[in-house]
Amino acid sequence: MTLVYFLIVIGILVFVHELGHFITAKRAGVRVEKFSLGMGPKLFGYKKGDTEYVLSALPLGGYVKMAGENPDEEPTGAPDEFHSKTVWQRAKIAAAGSLTNIVLAFVLMPLVYMVGTYAEGPAKVGFVEKGSPAAKAGFLAGDVITEINNRTISDWTKALSLIAVNPDTDVTVTLERGSEKKVLTLRPEAATELRIGTAGLMPDMPAEIGRLRSGLPAEKSGLKVNDKILAVDNVTIYHWNQFSLAVKESGGKALNLRIERAGKRQDMTIIPVMDSGRYVIGVEPYIRYVFKKFGFFESIRLGFTKTLETADLTFITLKKLLSFGLSIKTLGGPVMIAQMSGAAAAAGLSAFIALMATISLSLGMLNLLPIPVLDGGMLLFLAIEAVRKKPMSQRVMEVSQGIGAALLITLIAVVSYNDVMRLFFNK
């Protein structure tokens, strides 16, 4: 089913993109010779008017073929050819596909909130790892993050995203500590070979048992799901990570636990065992999610806000990638999109719609980059033509297109390598 969900996502986004080009071209009076969903050999198609509508074998793309668009074709000067139109008309046609993808994101994201999503509370710090960048910066449990680099923080997702894209970079964090407002400077560390920023900040997570692993000490000792860990060796436990750290640093020595079960307290002793290079007792936390639906107007507001935040994060990520602040190993291609599509579909309709909106927004923004062979490259050529009052020479266009194609092929090679490494080597 993962493949099916992937084809649904790619099919819709490509169709919408090419439909934007198609409608704008037709409105400008350009003759469209072919509208293809997919690339490569034709599977089937039909012709209506001047246009042949085709479904092609490779689902990773599509195209709209307009009369006189191909530089190799000798222009006839016919009024319905692409190059017979004004610079402004051609620019609107070139931009239409990407802009349609961006508009689609603004349409889809409010649906996420109408269908319902898991609501997040404010970015309240529940735990600060010892010796972490957050500890060095002066964060305390109970702090509520309100801004990072002057960007409003409404939930942990946005906070952690901005931390992730700023490895080894000072970021300004505004927070509330009780009734006091503080501004701290945080420098996230680059974690793993992906160079993703981490700070050692954790959201609130009570030490409540959500799952027991069979055959390990927790199960054998009689711990049960929904048990709350109140103390370990007479040290009060207020966060799951604090409990996890106590187990990890136990050295295999017996731990005296005080727990609460169905409103009653009791004590028990558990001896951690070594598993995969660390001490464990075989428990996982209980994660509480609150599923919430929103009204029409509130969904519109939240959807637009979320889409703008995603666009802002995309800009930051692109800037970091181009300046080598983030590793290119964070990039993914069709395999990653397929895996994410399958996981989102399994998580529910709202997660699937959110993924489609996010990819549509990214697709639209990336296509507007001023790189030849992308829509943004065509817009760059048209802007130069508007300034010069004449088109660029055929030779310059060909060289530019060649460079753009080489960059695109390199990008495809990188994301394909990353996909293979993740798929077969779990990296």
Question: Looking at the annotation, which residues are catalytic?
Answer: 18
For residues 52 and 412, give the distance between their C-alpha atoms in angstroms, rounded to a whole number.
Answer: 29
- Inter-CA distances, 284 with 121, 227, 257, 268, Å: 22, 11, 16, 18
Side-chain-facing half-sphere of 118: CA atoms under 13 Å: 9
Read off the amino acid at residue 251.
G
Angle at 361 between CA 305 and CA 162, to 5 degrees: 60
How many helices (H) and strands (E) the chain has is answered by: 11, 20
For residues 342 and 6, give the distance between their C-alpha atoms in angstroms, rounded to a whole number.
Answer: 7
For residues 359 and 362, give the distance between their C-alpha atoms in angstroms, rounded to a whole number.
Answer: 5
| DSSP state for residue 208 in the 8-state scheme | B
- The distance in angstroms from the start CA to the end CA of the chain is 23
For residues 257 and 268, the answer to whether their CB atoms sit within 8 Å is yes
SS3 237: coil
Residue in the block written with tokens 């760059």:
380
Kindly state the tokens that stand for 266: 């009791």
- Inter-CA distances, 421 with 133, 303, 332, 340, 409, Å: 30, 34, 10, 16, 18
CB proximity list for 96: less than 8 A, separation 6 or greater: 20, 21, 23, 24, 25
Chain centre distance of CA 38: 24
For residues 93 and 24, the answer to whether their CB atoms sit within 8 Å is yes
For residues 420 and 427, give the distance between their C-alpha atoms in angstroms, rounded to a whole number.
Answer: 9
For residues 205 and 233, the answer to whether their CB atoms sit within 8 Å is no
DSSP assignment of 74-138, as one string? -----TTSGGGS-HHHHHHHHHHHHHHHHHHHHHHHHHHHHH-EEE---EEEEEE-TTSHHHHHT
For residues 132 and 141, the answer to whether their CB atoms sit within 8 Å is no
DSSP assignment of 353-385, as one string? HHHHHHHHHHHHHHHTSS-TTSHHHHHHHHHHH
